[in-house]
């Protein structure tokens, strides 16, 4: 297993396909081309997009995060915007941890003191944020927070 930056437009398309396989299209109507356009632009700008590959170089999980500035906080945050994994069970657990560790390292590199990851509207049991909580993050509901200062 390895974690890389997108190598091509095909990587972006494969990542989006993985995301929409688990997305509930009836709750929020998606536009694949709009997401493709934005992720491609972010990848070309060197923004934080990481892909986790299996031993056959197939994308099994990915994450996109961005620096954000909340209106009620003096410090910026590094926030997970998209996340998807094709795995189940312990492998899915590992994907969450591995890709969020990459996020933490990027936030440190950018000198951003806080990393935030919000679960999905489809995760009614907050499993995603609970995984992060078990690994040292603070959690409230679907939101997990890691302070780096």
Q: pLDDT tens digits for 59-81? A: 999 999 999 998 988 899 999 99
The structure tokens 């990481």 sit at 50
110 vs 22 pLDDT, higher one: 110
Q: What is the mean pLDDT of residues 127-149?
A: 94
Q: Print burial letters for 5-36: b (CB count within 10 Å at least 16), e (below 16).
A: ebeeeebbebbbebbeeebeeeeeeeeeeebe
pLDDT at 56 over 90: yes
CA dihedral angle for residue 49, residue 129, residue 107, residue 22, rounded to 10 degrees: 10
pTM of the model as a whole:
0.92
pLDDT of residue 109: 97
Beta bridge partners of 136: none
81: CB partners within 8 A, 6+ apart: 64, 65, 66
pLDDT of residue 48: 98
Report the SS3 class of residue 1: coil
């Amino acid at each position: 297993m390895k974690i890389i930056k997108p190598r091509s437009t095909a990587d972006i398309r494969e990542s989006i396909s993985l995301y929409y396989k688990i997305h509930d299209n009836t709750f929020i109507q998606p536009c694949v081309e709009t997401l493709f356009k934005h992720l491609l632009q972010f990848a070309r700008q060197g923004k934080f997009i990481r892909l986790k590959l299996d031993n056959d170089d197939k994308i099994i999980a990915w994450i996109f995060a961005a620096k954000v500035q909340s209106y009620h906080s003096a410090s910026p945050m590094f926030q997970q915007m998209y996340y998807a994994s094709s795995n189940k069970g312990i492998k899915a657990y590992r994907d969450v941890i591995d890709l969020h560790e990459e996020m933490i390292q990027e936030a440190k590199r950018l000198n951003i003191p806080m990393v935030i990851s919000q679960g999905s509207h489809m995760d009614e049991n907050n499993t995603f944020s609970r995984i992060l909580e078990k690994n040292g993050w603070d959690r409230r509901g679907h939101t997990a927070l890691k302070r780096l200062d």
